[in-house]
Amino acid sequence: MALLFVNACMREESRTERLARAWLERYEGEVEELRLAELGVAPLDAERLRTYSAGVAAARYDDELFAFAQQFAEADEVLIAAPFWNYGIPARLHAYLELVCSQGVTFDVDATGAYVSLVRAQRLTFITTAGGAEPDELDDHAFGYVRTLSTRFWHIPDVRCIAAWSADASSTSVDAVLREILGEEQS
């Protein structure tokens, strides 16, 4: 698989999705899209955690709980599009990433306790938009979280963020911001 597009945009007419679609227009290669709003992505509860833990302990990853992790591990590149909500990411994206972080599928731990990547991706791009101003690094629980998982668990060497901030300001033209972000000339 070439590019895995994890679409965590929940609203119709999403600015974040518009930016991601414009980015994808420039991508040359195969794209597989996951629309998290349409999938039954849910966080691990007590029962699902028992199933997950038993699979990891037995190194058996045939349960559907590991399907997202297997798909992620096989991607050559990953694009995540998620609106910046309340200094974080949508809950469904968090639940998805919880499932992707599967020991034995996307990462493992060596004898010294260090994380070893099991993913193929060499690049992860995170696209987001926000109505408000860019947060301080300490307040960013969106890209900061994705970057930490990408670099610590999966050792993806090229992790980048494309963001459009302050889109709700009355003086902001969303289309102009999106064009600027994508490097197009403003009209």
Predicted confidence (pLDDT) per residue in 28-53, tens digit = 999 999 999 999 899 999 999 999 99
Predicted confidence (pLDDT) per residue in 92-111, tens digit = 999 999 999 999 999 999 99
Pairing of strands 31-35, 3-7: parallel
- Of the chain, the end-to-end C-alpha distance in Å amounts to 37
The pLDDT of residue 184 is above 60: no
Predicted confidence (pLDDT) per residue in 117-171, tens digit = 999 999 999 999 887 666 676 567 899 999 999 999 999 999 999 988 777 665 5
Predicted confidence (pLDDT) per residue in 54-67, tens digit = 999 999 999 999 99
Sign of the alpha-carbon dihedral angle for 108, 105, 39, 165 = positive
**Best CATH choice for the domain 3-181 from the list 3.40.50.360, 3.40.800.10, 3.90.580.10, 3.60.150.10:** 3.40.50.360
Tokens of 18: 């518009």
CA 22 – CA 182 distance, rounded (Å): 8
Residue 80 forms beta bridges with which residues?
6, 126
Give the DSSP H/E element, type plus range, for residue 147.
helix 143-148
Give the HSE-up count for residue 3: Cα atoms under 13 Å, Cβ half-sphere. Answer: 20
Domain locations in the chain as residue ranges: 3-181
CA 93 – CA 175 distance, rounded (Å): 25
Residue carrying structure tokens 């399907």: 67
Sign of the alpha-carbon dihedral angle for 50, 56, 59, 64 = positive
Confidence category of residue 24, pLDDT binned at 50, 70, 90? very high
CA 81 – CA 163 distance, rounded (Å): 10
